[in-house]
């Protein structure tokens, strides 16, 4: 097959009643592809992966938020009075 890198693709989810019929081309994408022949298995994995991604994003946003809060404290001034 082609030697193309798809770094922007993190995962490929394939749903098929016949996984065996896709192994010839899918072997080139073993680092990216997940194959499922049961709908519930696919959906469970997909939603778990989405949850994990959103949690990681949330943790990153929380770190950035805390950093901004700490930085804002450096500029805190006493009220004139």
- The string of DSSP letters for 8-69 reads T---EEEE-S-GGGGHHHHGGGTTTEEEESSHHHHHHHHHHHHHHHHHHHHHHHHHHHHHHH
Q: What pLDDT, on a 0 to 100 scale, did the predictor assign at position 43?
A: 96
Identify whether the C-beta of residue 31 lies closer than 8 Å to the C-beta of residue 42.
Answer: no
Domain boundaries, the chain: 12-73
Span 11-42, pLDDT tens digits: 989 999 999 898 888 888 888 899 999 999 99
User: What pLDDT, on a 0 to 100 scale, did the predictor assign at position 4?
Assistant: 63
DSSP 8-state symbol, 17: S
pLDDT bucket at 48, cuts 50 / 70 / 90: very high
């Amino acid at each position: 097959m082609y030697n193309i890198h798809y770094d922007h693709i993190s995962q490929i989810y394939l749903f098929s009643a016949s996984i065996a019929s896709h192994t010839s081309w899918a072997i080139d994408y073993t680092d990216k592809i997940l194959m499922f022949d049961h709908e519930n298995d696919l959906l469970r994995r997909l939603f778990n992966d989405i949850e994990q991604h959103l949690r990681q994003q949330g943790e990153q946003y929380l770190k950035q938020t805390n950093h901004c809060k700490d930085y804002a404290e450096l500029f805190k001034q006493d009220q004139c009075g």
